[in-house]
Every structure is written in C-alpha cells, then in structure tokens.
Chain A
Amino acid sequence: MTASSTTQRSDSATPPPERDGPPFVWPAEGVTRVPFQLFSDPAIYKLEQEKIFRGPVWHFLCLELDLKEPGDYRTGFIGETPIIAVRDRDGNINGMVNRCAHKGALVCHKERGNAKALSCVYHSWTYDLKGNLMGLAFRDGLRGKGGMPSDFKTKDHRLQPIRTAVFAGMVFGTFSDETPDVETFFGSEMCKILRRNFSRPLKLLGYHSQIIHNNWKLYAENVRDSYHATLLHTFYTTFKINRLDMDGGIRITNAAKPWHHLSFAKRATLEAADEYKKAEVHSAAYENRLAGPELLETWDEFDDGITHSIQALFPTLAIQFTLNSLAVRWFTPRGVDKTELFWMYLGYQDDDEAEQRMRVMQANLTGAAGLVSLEDGCINEFVQRGTRGEGQRANAFMEMGGKTVESSEASRATEVAIRGFWTGYREIMGFEAEQPG
C-alpha cells in the first residue's frame, strides 16, 4: 500500500450506502405524513449519517467560551463521527475528525482540555492545532533499521479537517463544501434572535445530559411540537399559573427552507399587565398555588415582550429562553433508537447575584428533572415503542394548523414547525413522494 492511498479525503463525494429492499418513498400527502419506518430502520439511520450529518448542514459543536485560550479543545460528535474543535495559536477555531490518520484511534480521548499539540497516545503521531501531522515516533527507525519508507510525507497524513464557523458565540462545523455560510443557512431572522440571546459575554452555569431511548428525529419533532406543550406538560396548569395572557406563535421566516423556527410567547402585554396590576390579581394568580413561589421570580430582560422562546435550528440544536433560563440543547444519535440530549445552562458574565439566582431557580423548569419538560424524556420513547417494527404500512398524521409550512403568528396549536423539519429532512435525504393512485 502506498502512502498516498491512506490519505484521508473529504467524504462529501462518497456515494450513499445501498439499502436492501424496496426504495423508500414518501407518502403522496407530503410532510403531513411521516412513515414510522423512519424511526427504526437501520438502513435509513445509516443513510442519515451520510446525507444529514455529513451533508450540507451546520452542526453545533460547542460554545466559543469552551475554547478561550490557544490549545483549548472540546470533543463532540457530528452524528456518530467524533469531532475535535480546537483554538490554535492564531486564535482561529479549527474543526477536525477526532481520528488519527495512522490507525484511526481517537486523538483526544478527554471531553475537554488544553494541549500544545494533538498527540495520539497509540504511536505518538503528533499534529499541530490545525491538524497537520508534525511528526511520529521512530520515523527514521531505530539504529538505522525500520522506519517509514523514503516516500513517506507528513503532509499526506493530516487529521481530516471540517469546515467551521463561529456565529454569536457558537461554534458550528460541516463536512460539506456545499453548505452555505451560517447566516444564509439559518436565515437573517433566525440569526437576529441568536444575536439577541447571545448579545453579551456568556457564563456557563450548568451542564448535564440525558439518554432518551428513541430515534433522534423524535426529539427533533418534540422540540418543534408547540401543539403538545400545555397538553403533556401540565405543571403550569396544575399550579394554576396564569397563562391567559400568554399570546404567541410560530415564526418560520425562510419560506424556501422552512427548516428552522422560533416558537415564542409573550407573558403579558403592557395593557394587560396594567389591568392585572390594578386588580392585583396578576401576582396572586402567579403565586397562590406554589408553596415555593420564588421558583418563578423573573425579570424582563428584553424589550420585545417575548418571555418564552424556543428556537429550533436544523437538525439537532435548540436554544431555549424560558423566562430567564437560557439554555442550549443539542442532541446526538447513539444508535437508531437511542439519543443523548445535552443541556448547557447559561447566564451572562455581567449578571448580578439576584439575576443569577433567578436563572438557577428557573433551571428547575427544564432539563432531565424539569418540572415543565421532564415528560419529554419518556414521551418520545413511548412513540418509539409504539411504532417499532413498522414498515411503510403506517404513518404519523400531522395536519394540526393546516397542511402547509408557514409562520403561524396567532397560534401555537399547530404542527407547522414539525412539517418544516420534515421538509428539510426530505430534501436532504432525497426522498421522493410516491405517485398517487
């Protein structure tokens, strides 16, 4: 084998793996139907690794605050592929596959750290912070014997690079040269919200993860499912926490690529707030059933009136701003029926003590033990278990809020954002619709 034949190249030209059996076709009704097969078919899962995770999509890697100093690195995954994001001595953030060009071992085996160079522990192949191979043990052999052949060139054996981009303090990576720049990919409106939420230097407040026993796309649906919010999650209604004044909607701003969305709610219009204040019922309604009402102490951080928002960015990222609880959620497939969901809670470096305390209290609402959200840990598994083993015989039915994919400013009783996700998914996967009749 010659040295050049082992050189790693971009995988973007790799043809997708062949599927056994009849080709997958989408129901003629379009994205109002989703075949259950998509959640348990190993061949489709394999195809997604190529098409979605190595496809023309930006994937969240980490926050810039994870990589403050030169040599700071953070490992993670794009799909099942292990990734390193590292800041080099020029200040740039580089992304690369976390796999030694020699034998394929992980180069960084810690989740985070700081390194002068990236060195594989197996045979001491050592790369600089841009991923270039600098040297390896016994290259010239020992006592004149052994060593690499004379045509061996270190430049042929670098860590496989991926494109990276930093936007609003978030680090993204993509395998594909086709992926448009981040602002084009997410769209200007979505980027405006990201800038709103990440406008000041961030501070990490908490971090944990959750294993959910379902296909990754069920969580992608769940985080876009504004229809279920008050039906499955009954914490607010049980405690009679006032929701009458919650008005909000779904914003999908790129009609051609409705893959991302913002779901928002406004707790009170100014007018309503005045009425409540006069009648002195607002605080009463908010507090009278909680024995520990300080859980929900809050302040208005923004002047746009939006007090609750979830922004889902295709395919596996969501940003929540629930009252004052800012968190980045992202999820990684761990097999066709297993997903790891990460929660990173944030504040701002200039938060005062009272503000930070409110963020700490409100973190009780979400996460693995979230008073409002913990049901999401099991509900997707219920779908997984309910649909396991289905071929193309049965589909999910999603026509709440109509059959189209467009903004729904007036109502959140809609599945429009889920249809938006499947629009992007179908387009990237290349799943054609079956012919009617």
Chain B
Amino acid sequence: MTPVLDPVLRARVGDFLTDYVHAIDDDRLEDWPGFFTPEALYHITTRESDEAGLPIGIMHCEGRGMMEDRIKALRTANIFEPHRYCHLLGATRLADKGSGILSARTNFSVTRTMQDGGSTVFATGTYRDEIDVSSDTLALRSRRVVLESRRVDVLLVIPL
C-alpha cells in the first residue's frame, strides 16, 4: 500500500468525502451524481454478498445517467414515508494507486429519522472508493458501499 503523505491532498480528500455526505444529509440529492466521474460505478451491497463475490447487491449504477435516474425516480415516482439521513464518517485510510487515482476506505454510520421523530441506526458499513485526483475537482471513479447487514429496514431509496 503506497501511503499518501501530501497533507494538502489528504485535506482535499477529507473535505470531498465530507461534502458528499453533507449533500445527502442536506437533501441536495441533485448534487449527488456530480461527485462521480461520468462513467463511475456506484454499488451498494452487503458484506456477505461482497465476500461471496456476488455481482448483485442492493443498488447498482453505472454512470451518472443511472444516478440521475435514481434521483428523478425518488423525487417524482417513488412513494415512501418522508425521512432524512445523518451520516457519521470514520477516519479514511488512503493509498496511492498511481495514475492520479487514490483508493480510500472509510467506515460510516447513518441514522434515519422519520417524520414521527423516530430515529434509528439505518445503515453501517464501509465506503470503498477510488478517487480521481488528477484534476482540480476530485471525483469518485468508483464507490462500493458495503453494508454490515444484509437486512434493510423498510426500504432504501436515498443513496448512502
């Protein structure tokens, strides 16, 4: 694992990962696809399926178009009880993959608050990322969201 020692780059990555979860928590979901490269992979799966190498998880987007469709569906088509997330991030372990790509692993926990005030831990897991740092604007080339649990409470519609 090639360490990333440049403190400026580490700070930029930290801000980037924080901005991502704040966009979701603040309901700026239309901004969400913009955190990815145009052809990026976004994949939510479970630890069990990940370890078994199963290709189908819980959500799978290849490219920003599919991510935009997810958000459009959430806003206009899908029906669900209103709820909001609050993400908590753990420390990020970075490694330099070369060619302007960093790999990053960050644990997260998400509470979900329903309209009646009920607030529970909805999801806990790990972001396994490949981040393109070759230009001024950072972007996820791949984000695999590996959930600890294979059991989703009620439904999953807002991305993690």
Q: Which residues of A contact B (CB under 8 A)?
A: 204-213, 232, 234-235, 237-239, 290-295, 340, 345, 356, 359-361, 363-364, 367-369, 371, 374-375, 377-379, 381
> Nearest B residue to A377 by beta-carbon distance?
B155
Does B61 contact A369, Cβ atoms closer than 8 Å? no
Given contacts A207-B48, A211-B152, A374 and B157 within 8 Å (CB-CB): yes
Complex contacts, A209 vs chain B, CB 8 Å: 150-152
Residue total for B at the interface (Cβ-Cβ under 8 A)? 39
Report the separation of the CA atoms of residues A213 and B66 in the bound assembly, to the nearest whole angstrom. 30
Does A364 contact B155, Cβ atoms closer than 8 Å? no
15 pairs of residues in contact across A and B, judged by CB atoms under 8 Å: A206-B55, A207-B48, A207-B54, A211-B151, A211-B153, A238-B77, A291-B65, A291-B66, A292-B64, A294-B63, A294-B66, A361-B60, A371-B73, A377-B80, A381-B154
Report the separation of the CA atoms of residues A237 and B79 in the bound assembly, to the nearest whole angstrom. 14
What is the minimal beta-carbon distance from B119 to any residue of chain A, in angstroms?
Answer: 16
Complex contacts, A212 vs chain B, CB 8 Å: 154
Does A368 contact B54, Cβ atoms closer than 8 Å? no
Complex contacts, B153 vs chain A, CB 8 Å: 210-211
What is the minimal beta-carbon distance from B142 to any residue of chain A, in angstroms?
Answer: 15
Contact with A along B36-53 (1 / 0, CB 8 A): 000000001110110010
Given contacts A239-B77, A292-B62, A213 and B154 within 8 Å (CB-CB): yes
Given contacts A212-B154, A369-B155, A205 and B60 within 8 Å (CB-CB): no
Does B80 contact A375, Cβ atoms closer than 8 Å? yes
Q: Is B56 close to A, CB under 8 A?
A: yes
Given contacts A235-B78, A292-B63, A292-B66, A206 and B154 within 8 Å (CB-CB): no
Does B65 contact A292, Cβ atoms closer than 8 Å? yes
Which 3 A-B pairs rank lowest in CB-CB distance, beginning with the nearest?
A206-B56, A292-B66, A377-B155
Q: Is B143 close to A, CB under 8 A?
A: no
